[in-house]
Amino acid sequence: MGTLGLDLERGLFLGIDFGTTNSVISIFNFKDGEAQTIPIGGRNIFPTAVQFETDPEDPKKLTRIFGDEAKQAAVISPQSTVLSIKRLLGSDDKITVSVDDKEYGFTPEQIAGEILGYLKTKADEYAQEELGIPGEFSGCVITVPANSTDKQKKMTKQAAVLAGFDEDSIYLRLEPAAAAISYAVNETDDKRVLVYDFGGGTFDACILEIKADADSEPSISILSTYGDNNLGGNDIDKIIMDIIYEEFKKLTDNEIDLFDDQADDGVSKYQKKSALMRLQQVANQAKESLSQSKVAKIVLAPFIQEPRIININMEITREDLISHQRVNVLGDDPAVFDKFKDLNLRDIIGITLKCIDRCLEAAGMSEADLDEIFLVGGSSSIALVVEMIREKFHKEPFKSRISPALSISQGAAYYCNMIMMPTLKGPTVQEKTIHPLGLEIAGRRFLQIVAQGKDIPADGLSVEATDLLTTNFDNVTSMAIVVYENTNPQTTAGRMDFVSQEGMKRLAGTSLRGIPAGKRGQEKVRVIFHIGQDNMLKVTAQSTSDSGAVTELQVDELY
């Protein structure tokens, strides 16, 4: 392939679909003019997993195992393995792993950075050895769920920095928009398309308008998005786990609780963790099997060996998966379990359809206005998903030559093409703001500054608050600047929002200090929100008086 005249001063860019369960990496092959997925260990899909072990040469250090090996080793060493890290990005939770009776603590972005760093290393090797391209991948395009909060995006970018990518060359793009590019590459007609993105840990509905004809490159505009960052294939796995766990309870007369490490039931903490890891893996395998066949065989022999040997040998039918209502907590937080209690597979898919309804409402459209439904993400290959989509829209989903699991990564690679070779033609995407952004003001009210669905130009979007902020008391010399994101905006006109209501996310806060002392309301403050091309938010607050103060809040630096 060679360098093909690339301007390598900008470096090579890697397209990354960093998923909850699996990840995929792709590059743009300039020789063929197409996106190409990079195989790792002979497979296009890479499990998003890492396991830690003691370095045999230096007991004070840790070594890492990634991907399939880590996923398989999790059965033996569950306490030193981390899975589904994407669901923790955006939280302040710490991850603790235990290796040889020693505990080590990590932040979510550190774990994600470890996995991304391994993907980068494998991509570097492939480019050099298989494609004959010198150098390394210094930049990347990482896709994120359309419903991501600002904090989740910041932590994703920080993980990429830890992985070794240049901070100024990390671009975040929406998963459904990236998938739409892989769809629109060969499109020659104007269409309105629903991207149904059902991954391992998140669901996104995104409505896109594609303008295309035979003489020009497609132009993609995002009309609306709506999703659920805690709904995915992992929750379908839990239904199968629930079916198997019910059988386990019968075999043990309900005397053993695998999710209670402190219970005096004769089963060690280690064996419980190992059994649960095996349960999770076999449930995932059964789900994949039931996408293709009507029956999945479950064999766990032995499942546990203490205080006595318990073997599980059973069959789960596709109808079992569709109709079984979940009854066990399975280690979930109470709020998560309340969300999925008594739900079956049809109910879970029904939640995705409700997200679509919200997405249509935000776009001012009806089901009949859609020309195409594009299924994306591994969970969208479930037979019932296709069936329920067909029932709702009375049309067949688009059948792509690209696997639903690969389309997001390959779309990200087309973004890389635009960055590395901006003079080349290709599909373009008009990015939009996903959630309203604003400030907390007196009375804990939410002052919206950036509306949902605003176009983000190539040089970024700057929005100044319509009203100036004023001091509430005499001789005030500082003012709190607290930034919020409304992840669940209401459509009721004239409705007053408060920062305490459901869906409000506090992103960051600082103080504007040095405001000249004066009477109440005398000093005024101008606030500007700027969203850059990298989808990062910066907030500037400045006193309007001649001797006024100024502060700049780079939101991502606060996490």
Q: What is the pLDDT of residue 3?
A: 38
Q: What distances in angstroms separate CA 144 from CA 148, 151, 356, 394, 399, one per listed residue?
A: 7, 12, 18, 30, 23
Give the C-alpha separation, 64 to 41, whole Å: 16
- Strands 550-554, 478-486: pairing is unpaired
Give every CB contact of residue 464 below 8 A, 6+ residues apart in sequence.
449, 526, 527, 528, 529
- Helix H or strand E segment including 119: helix 108-129
Give the C-alpha separation, 171 to 143, whole Å: 8
Split at pLDDT 50, 70, 90, the class of 6 is very low
Split at pLDDT 50, 70, 90, the class of 362 is confident
Q: What is the pLDDT of residue 557?
A: 35
- Say yes or no to pLDDT of 359 above 50: yes
- Say yes or no to pLDDT of 165 above 80: yes
Split at pLDDT 50, 70, 90, the class of 432 is confident
Q: What is the pLDDT of residue 179?
A: 86
Give the C-alpha separation, 456 to 545, whole Å: 31
Q: What is the mean pLDDT of the chain?
A: 87
Q: pLDDT digit string (tens) for 69-105?
A: 999 888 888 899 999 999 899 888 899 999 998 999 9
Let me know: does 465 contact 437? Beta carbons within 8 Å: no
Q: Is the peptide bond before 302 cis (omega within 30 degrees of 0)?
A: yes
Q: What is the mean pLDDT of residues 242-258?
A: 95
User: 559 or 458: which carries more pLDDT confidence?
Assistant: 458
- Say yes or no to pLDDT of 400 above 60: yes
Q: What is the pLDDT of residue 552?
A: 59
Give the C-alpha separation, 73 to 274, whole Å: 10
Give the whole-number percent of the chain exceeding pLDDT 70: 92
- Say yes or no to pLDDT of 548 above 80: no
From the CB of residue 370, how many other CB atoms can be counted at a distance below 10 Å? 18
Q: What is the Cβ-side half-sphere exposure of residue 287, based on CA atoms within 13 angstroms?
A: 27
Let me know: does 270 contact 262? Beta carbons within 8 Å: no
- Say yes or no to pLDDT of 5 above 70: no
Split at pLDDT 50, 70, 90, the class of 252 is very high
Q: What is the pLDDT of residue 132?
A: 84
Q: What is the pLDDT of residue 550?
A: 64
Q: What is the pLDDT of residue 4?
A: 38
Q: pLDDT digit string (tens) for 99-122?
A: 998 999 999 999 999 999 999 999
Q: What is the mean pLDDT of residues 349-358?
A: 95
Measure the CA angle with vertex 359, ends 358 and 365; round to 5°.
100
Q: What is the mean pLDDT of residues 212-228?
A: 78
pTM of the model: 0.80
Secondary structure class of 493 (helix, strand, coil): coil
Q: What is the mean pLDDT of residues 517-531?
A: 88
Q: pLDDT digit string (tens) for 459-484?
A: 889 999 988 888 888 888 888 889 99
Q: What is the mean pLDDT of residues 342-349?
A: 96
- Say yes or no to pLDDT of 207 above 80: yes
Look at 230-234, 302-306, 368-372, 543-547 and tell me which has the smallest mean pLDDT.
Answer: 543-547
Q: What is the pLDDT of residue 559?
A: 24
Give the whole-number percent of the chain exceeding pLDDT 90: 50
Which domains occur in the chain, in start order?
437-558 (2.60.34.10)
User: Which among 181, 227, 543 has a CA at the least distance from the CA of 358?
Assistant: 227
- Say yes or no to pLDDT of 201 above 70: yes
Q: Which two tokens stand for residue 1?
A: 């392939």
Q: Which two tokens stand for residue 143?
A: 């896709």
Q: pLDDT digit string (tens) for 259-287?
A: 998 888 999 988 998 999 999 999 999 99
User: 38 or 553: which carries more pLDDT confidence?
Assistant: 38
Split at pLDDT 50, 70, 90, the class of 556 is very low
- Say yes or no to pLDDT of 41 above 80: yes
Q: What is the pLDDT of residue 551?
A: 62
